[in-house]
Structure 1
Amino acid sequence: MSLQSVALWLSETPLALELADSNWLFGTVEALHVAALTLVIGSIALVDLRLIGVGPARGTAQEVLERLVPFTLVGFGFALASGSVLLFANPIGYSENFWFAAKFSLLALAGINALVFHLFAQRKLAEPGSVIPRISGAISLSLWLGIVIAGRWIGYTL
């Protein structure tokens, strides 16, 4: 089964048809998606800036991480759910869109970076002068900036 045939099938589902027919559904889901992304990006930015050493957050990097990761996870869950619904609005267009592919490629890289951080770099937080958490924070911040930029371009290129 090709990507095009999956996109065509998605475009004929009841959810896709409801998104196309409704005057308010798409806008509501999109607003929820933006709100969820704000929670994700805001919490990640605070953690990353603290890791880099320029963050305004009080406490150690570990304390900031422990306080904010739950917000990131909740926001990501809502962003994933709302983004999945938005996909049904134009699955064929999304499947052919460069910026959509770029956003998901960057999301995959951000996920890998987060996994590497939690498995390896987080242990270095207690070591004074360790650059590994700083590098991980800078990579994360750059990837999430790219995700936001790619996401905004999707809307302008569909």
Structure 2
Amino acid sequence: MAMPLLQHICQVIYDSQIGTSIRESEYLFSIIESVHVLAIALLVGTIAILDLRMLGVVLRDVSVTRIARAVFPLTWSGFGVMFVSGLLLFWAEAAKNYTNPAFRIKLVLLALVGLNPLIFHTTVYRRVQEWETARFSPWRARAAAFASLTLWCGIIVAGRAIAYF
């Protein structure tokens, strides 16, 4: 019986020279994984600052846009490094990840966490001038912040769980 196309693609990626080199290297996989974790810390840490501000937990006297301008360059840097390192980790273990339930959950959560700021920036953030200096953000901004923090926590837990499935 032929394997599904996506599974076949994952197997080809897994069997590639790059995937094999990363997987079989004494140190490379661990180094990439460490870089991935540090990039996640940078990404999620900077996002958490903005989310916690919108929830009214920290920096209540600082405008939302001022915080956003300060953290976004670091957020995007963390995202770039996280994306590249995550891609390399996937490359090394694509065939195993195809059937890994934790990996599948992580992908779903990543899709949702990507939709969250897209929806936020096209809706409630468009009128940020009206509420950015308020000590507490409007409920829709707080809901987006809560969703963001919850989804990122889920992504981190699912990412760690990949090793155990």
Which TM-score tier does this pair reach, normalised by the shorter chain? Answer: over 0.9
Residue 22 of structure 1, CA deviation: 1.0
Q: Mark the runs of 5 or more structure 1 residues left unpaired by the alignment.
A: none
Residue 117 of structure 1, CA deviation: 1.1
Q: CA offsets, 1:55-77, max 9 Å, x none?
A: 24761112111211121111011
Which residue does the alignment assign to 1:59? 62
Task: Give yes or no for the alignment of 1:4 onto 2:11.
Answer: no
Which residue does the alignment assign to 2:149? 141
Task: Give yes or no for the alignment of 1:36 onto 2:44.
Answer: no
Whole-angstrom distance in 2 between the partners of 1:33 and 1:125: 32
TM-score using structure 2 length: 0.89
Whole-angstrom distance in 2 between the partners of 1:122 and 1:82: 30
Q: Mark the runs of 5 or more structure 2 residues left unpaired by the alignment.
A: 132-136
Say whether the 8 Å CA contact 1:48–1:140 is kept in structure 2: yes
Task: Give yes or no for the alignment of 1:112 onto 2:109.
Answer: no
Which residue does the alignment assign to 2:23? 20
Residue 52 of structure 1, CA deviation: 0.9
Which residue does the alignment assign to 2:134? none
Which residue does the alignment assign to 1:97? 100
Whole-angstrom distance in 1 between the partners of 2:141 and 2:126: 9
Q: CA offsets, 1:33-83, max 9 Å, x none?
A: 011101011001111000111124761112111211121111011000000
Tell me the SS of whatever aligns to 1:53: coil
Whole-angstrom distance in 2 between the partners of 1:141 and 1:116: 15
- Structure 2: which amino acid aligns with 1:106? L
Whole-angstrom distance in 1 between the partners of 2:146 and 2:14: 38
- Structure 2: which amino acid aligns with 1:64? I
Match of 2:78 among 71, 75, 80: 75
Q: Could you say what the CA RMSD is over the residues aligned between the two structures, in angstroms?
A: 1.5
Q: CA offsets, 1:60-117, max 9 Å, x none?
A: 1121112111211110110000000001221111010111111111111111111011
Number of equivalenced pairs: 157
